[in-house]
Structure 1
Amino acid sequence: MKLDPFYLIVDSASWIERLVPLGVKLVQLRIKDMEEPAVRLEVRAARTICAKHDCQLIVNDYWQLAIEEGCDFVHLGQEDLATANLAAIRRAGIRLGLSTHDNIELETALAAAPDYIALGPIYPTILKAMKWAPQGLDRIAEWRTRVGDLPLVAIGGLNIERIDGAFAHDADSAAVVTDITRNSDPEARTREWIAATARWR
C-alpha cells in the first residue's frame, strides 16, 4: 500500500469540502467532543466528497461507525487501539493506521499488524498538549528501520519548510493540521503543500 505524501488532517466535513477539491488525495477526519449521531453525519458527508474527488478518507477513532458507514480506513491512537475490536475491523475490510510516540507504543502497534504507522510529534506542536518531547528527524530514520516496508507517516509541527527533512529521513507521508487550518489562506497553503510534495509521489 502506498500513501500520498501529503496527509491532511481536519476536524469537519466543511474543511474537506473546502480543501479536497483542490487536489488533496489523502485526508483524515479527526473529530473530538461531538455526539456520535453528529459525527456520523460528518463522516457521511466527508465520504461523499472524497469519493467524488478520488481522495482517500481516513476516519479517526470511530472504528465502529466507520464499519457501519462502509468506510475503508481508520486511524487509532494507542488508547483507542487498546479497546478496539481489531478482528471486526479486519472482517469489514477496513485498513488501519496507528499512532506511535515511543518504543513501547511502536511494539504495541506492530503487534496489531497495521497498514501504516504514524510517528510524532516530529517538532513542537501547538495542536494539543503532548507528554512526549519532539522526536526529531533521526527518529524517523530509526522507525523506518523498525517498520520495514510499512508506510511511515511523520506528524507534529510540520510545515512546507520542514517536509523535505522528513522525507529525506524516509518518511512516506507528512501529516499536517495547523499549518493549513490556521493559515490566513488555507486554500493557497493547501496548493503549496500539493506542489511541495509532488516530487515525493
Structure 2
Amino acid sequence: MARFQPELHIITSGKQSPREVIHICTLVHHLVDAIHLRECSWSSRCLYDTILALRSSGVPAEKLVINDRVDMALLTGVERIQLGSRSVGPSHIKKKFPSIKIGVSVHDAVEAEEAGMAGADSVILGNIYRTDSKPGKAGIGVGAIRKVKDRLPVVGIGGITPNNAAEVIRAGATGIAVLSGVFLSRDPQRAAEEYRLSIKGAEVL
C-alpha cells in the first residue's frame, strides 16, 4: 500500500503583480502540490496570460487551481477549480464539464457536507486557527476536520504554520493550504520547504 502523502497547497495573495506570482511559482512549484490562483482584481486577459506564462515556465498544469473562473480553466487546459460561497454551484459545472475537479471553500462541517452532496471533489475548510486575515474570528479547530474527513477529502486553511501543520494532518486532513505563509514570505522557497517538512511523515490518528 502506498504511504499517504499530505498535500501542500499555496494560494496567491491578491497583493502581488503577475510577474511576482510567476517568479515565486517557478521557485516553489516542485515543493507544492497545488497552486491556487485567487486574483479577483485581475482582468481575464491578465489571468489568461499569467496561466500561460506559468505553464511555459515549467509549472505543471496539474498543479494549477483556478479560483472561480471555469472559463479560464477550459481555455488554458487546467482541470482544477476552487469555488467560493458566491460561485456557481459545483453540480451545475459537473453537469457540463464532468472531468473538472472541483474544490469548494467552506467554513464548517455543514457547509462541507452540502458541498459534497452538490458534487464537490474536495473542500478547503477553515479558518482552523486564528489568523490575522480574519481579525476577531476564532479558529474552528482541528475537531472540525474530524467531522468532515470521512465524507470527502478536506484541506485545512487559516493560521497554519510549520509549527502546527502536522496537527492538521493528524486530525485527518489530506493537506494544508497557506497564503501569506509562502507568497508573502521574505523567502518563499525556504517557507515552502519548512511547510513540506512539517507535514511529511505526519501520522494520521
TM-score, structure 2 as length reference = 0.81
Q: Which residue of 1 aligns with 2:45?
A: 37
After superposition, the CA RMSD in angstroms is: 2.6
Q: Which residue of 1 aligns with 2:86?
A: 79
Equivalent in 101, 111, 129 of residue 105 of structure 1: 111
Q: Which residue of 2 aligns with 1:124?
A: 130
Paired with 2:135 and 2:70, the residues of 1 have a C-alpha distance of 23
Change in 2 beyond 3 A, CA 1:79/1:130: farther
Change in 2 beyond 3 A, CA 1:170/1:24: same
Helix, strand or coil for the counterpart of 1:28?
strand
1:46-94 deviation line (CA, Å, top 9, x unaligned): 334322xx8621111111110121111111112113498412232xx21
Of all paired residues, the percent bearing the same amino acid is 23
Q: Within 5 Å, which residues of 2 pair with 1:57-96?
A: 57-82=64-89, 85-86=92-93, 87-90=95-98, 93-96=99-102
Helix, strand or coil for the counterpart of 2:177?
strand
TM-score, structure 1 as length reference = 0.83
Query: How many pairs align?
Result: 191
Judging by fraction of residues, say which structure has more helix: 1
Q: Which residue of 1 aligns with 2:9?
A: 7
- In structure 2, list runs of 5 or more residues that go unmatched: 14-20
State the shift of 1:153 in Å: 0.4
- In structure 1, list runs of 5 or more residues that go unmatched: none
- Alignment check: 8 A CA contact 2:165 2:195 kept: no
State the shift of 1:96 in Å: 0.7
Helix, strand or coil for the counterpart of 2:105?
strand
Letter in 2 for 1:142: K
Letter in 2 for 1:100: V
Letter in 1 for 2:184: R
